[in-house]
Amino acid sequence: MHRRQLVDYIAMALIWGVSFVLVLQVVAAFGWIGAVTFRAFIASAILLVMARIGGRTLRFGNWRPLAIVGATTVAGQLIGLSFSTPRIGTAMAAIFVGTIPLFSMLLGRISGSERMARTQAVGLLLGFGGVILLVGFPAVPVTATFALGCCGSALGCLSAAFGSNYAHRHLRAVGSWEQTIGTFFFGGAMTLPLLLVVPIPTTPGPADLGYLVLLAGLCSSLAYVLYFRLVAEVGATLAISVEFVVTVLAVFVGAVLLHEPLTPIQLIGGAVIIAGCSQVLGLWPRRRSGAAATLR
């Protein structure tokens, strides 16, 4: 990475690391469907207006890949995040987010688009073993609400992994601004009808609207543009490794600042997940015949 890419990487980690606190505030005011719907539309609109003001030419291409990524990486992932975070806490939700690379590699293997080395298979086993430690030894009673939150997190991560694999195959020629605008628009459009089933629980105040705009503009518009740009410049492997830093920051915020309980076994589980993901992504140096180890 050169200096600008490193700045992008660090900025993305910081933004997503604290985003869980904003998610709690927005979900409390708008509900878990409203939080996703309005966040997606505002994020898309902010970038569209900025592009028009700046005279940026937007080329979206075929709408179908944008709709599929919008349904998975945006709607599916953010619904899982918004539904589960109030039920299991920001720290646990963040550790679940760290499993996205595991799901991504597994889906790539199943679809035949990824070839899995023995060390990567070991990494998958480590990662999912960490999930068992995380979910099986909680610091809170295992209630139906807790179980639903864990399921929501897992499904959201699986959805994000599917969308990332699909985008890597079908949206390589689409710019980061177009990808963010298009996928968030379609994600919002797909969740909008669900407001009839899960309505807004209360009348949001000015502070709630401020949290929503901050979440959409900072954690969606800016962060996703940085992410898609890094994917194009340094590759998906290195870009997605930012989830490890996000997990550490969010666990710190949840456990230290919000006083959310975590057991020592859960912390070990989080460390095992990160170790497994690092192995899957090839971020651990290993010897190869006649050449230094490189990133996949």
Q: What is the pLDDT of residues 6-27, one digit of tens each?
A: 888 889 888 988 888 899 999 9
Q: What is the pLDDT of residues 131-141, one digit of tens each?
A: 777 666 666 67
**Average pLDDT of the chain?**
82
DSSP state of 289: T
pLDDT at 208: 95
Q: Which two tokens stand for residue 111?
A: 């679809």
Q: Which of 61, 47, 36, 42 lies closest to 181 in space, CA to CA?
A: 47
**Looking up tokens 């980061």, which residue turns up?**
176
Q: What is the dihedral of CA 272, 220, 230, 73, to 10 degrees?
A: 60
CA atoms within 13 A on the CB side of 296: 18
Alpha helices in the chain (DSSP H): 3-53, 63-69, 77-88, 90-97, 100-111, 118-136, 144-170, 176-191, 206-214, 223-234, 236-240, 242-252, 264-281
Q: What is the pLDDT of residues 194-224, one digit of tens each?
A: 999 999 998 999 999 999 999 999 999 998 8
CA atoms within 13 A on the CB side of 118: 1
**Does 84 have pLDDT greater than 90?**
yes
The span from the CA of 215 to the CA of 16, in Å, is: 10
- CA dihedral (136, 140, 145, 150) positive or negative: negative
> What are the residues facing 291 on neighbouring strands?
288
pLDDT at 293: 30
Residue type, 256: V
- Does the model's pTM come out above 0.85? no
Q: Which of 226, 78, 219, 213 lies closest to 152 in space, CA to CA?
A: 78
**Looking up tokens 């992008």, which residue turns up?**
8
The span from the CA of 3 to the CA of 25, in Å, is: 34
Longest dimension (CA), the chain: 65
DSSP state of 287: -
> What are the residues facing 263 on neighbouring strands?
none
285 three-state secondary structure: coil
